[in-house]
Chain A
């Protein structure tokens, strides 16, 4: 409970007006590259392969002739949009980005760089964390849309290469019962997850005490906690939006 209170107080300092907007936008650009662009390769790799595996597993489990052939495409589409791209990719990014943020801010804390900012009169939380949160909230939806597309592409490649379905059947499945609301649901989740990953990881980095060993511990704790908060938020958001 104490951590939650401290986390909320931290957010109060994060969401204040930046000292200089020009500096904020420069920092935002750096973070868009660090958090967003640099995450594209891992998202592409994971999405293509997992999309392929989802399609193959679905196809291998469809032994009933009563099921239409386009079912594989439909299941790949719905599982990718509803769960894989927003949630699993966010969990992967929690590992990559979360540990990076916690160790970066944690190292700044133990080397007194944060104290230096504070003594200059800079709101260190606003300066360090707000551009990261903004970048994540802006770029995570792009990453997830990218992931959705590549995941479906991976599914198509795996099915065609394995000769388990035709392009026409797979595309028909992708388009069957498509509900645009599901995209809105996925993107809403993604924005929340992006916010949670960055803010929770920043919290662990910012309040670290001690030396390099403690920075390492904070980094691990950041990944674990942001993953747990993603799972809880995923459950709550699904309850609120879909049901």
Chain B
């Protein structure tokens, strides 16, 4: 479990996160949602230590991440896998090189053991046999899947996904969402997904945190987000005409 406790973060005197507290549960897909510029990416970056918090604490299974030095953080970070918005694959390495990289850096596995693990991870994301391709030779969806394979190669306890569906077609998005959900359940990871994608919210949102004006505005799940009367959530969820029509028909049914 990851706990965020009273986190504040500002840039140049401009507060972005205001006293945010939240719990991200193990074995569940925890979503951080919200409009652009509300602070959800900053929250995620604070959680993984890419931004330092001004005040507050981030606990990984009770271990305080915020006050650790680089060396001690490195140990917790080896338990974190992250899928970046643009996949962030190392373009000088092959698919295999990318997935093998954390294993080379942090394990004492033999070459054969690493190869076995890489093949397993690539198979898990349906990319068997693509080992020798370079990231530039892969489609956006494939790059995301390679990113997932790299993220799970170290058997992480925590998985962060930053807008995993951005730039993908609806079918590939569903595939990626399914993969994240399956992997989370299979390895009992604490998964945190930052997303705008309403389909993801409905499909995989076990625990949803809505960030608005730098605050944890609302917390619920994929069932309660549809029915809540919260005005800001309503504006976010039912932003499109299509969704507004669905809302009206749902309200009529309820009557």
Contact = CB atoms under 8 A, between A and B. Distances in A.
Interface of A: 13, 19-20, 23, 111-113, 115-116, 118-123
A20 B109 CA distance: 13
Interface string B60-79: 00000000001001111110
A111 B86 contact: yes
Given A111-B88, A112-B85, A119 B77 contact: yes
A120 B86 contact: no
A121 B50 contact: no
Interface in B78-99: 78, 80, 82, 84-86, 88-91
B48 A121 contact: no
A112 B105 CA distance: 19
Given A115-B88, A116-B84, A121-B73, A23 B104 contact: yes
A224 B87 CA distance: 33
9 contacts: A19-B105, A20-B105, A115-B50, A115-B88, A116-B82, A118-B77, A120-B80, A120-B102, A120-B106
Interface residues on chain B, size class: 20 to 34
Interface centre among A13, A113, A119 (most CB of B within 10 A): A119
Contacts of A119: 48-50, 77, 80, 82, 160
Nearest to B70: A123
Contact of A121 (B75, B84, B90): B75
6 tightest A-B CB contacts, nearest first: A121-B77, A121-B74, A112-B88, A116-B88, A121-B78, A119-B82
A169 B88 CA distance: 61
A33 to B, nearest CB: 13
Nearest to B104: A23
B103 to A, nearest CB: 11
Given A112-B85, A112-B88, 7 more contacts: A23-B104, A113-B90, A116-B90, A120-B102, A121-B74, A121-B75, A123-B74
Nearest to A26: B104
A112 B84 contact: yes
Given A19-B106, A20-B105, A23-B105, A120 B77 contact: yes
Nearest to B80: A119
Interface string B224-238: 000000000000000
B144 to A, nearest CB: 13
Given A20-B104, A20-B105, A113 B73 contact: no
B27 to A, nearest CB: 21
Contacts of A111: 86, 88, 91
B73 A112 contact: no
Contact of A113 (B48, B78, B80, B88): B88
B177 to A, nearest CB: 21
A19 B78 CA distance: 12
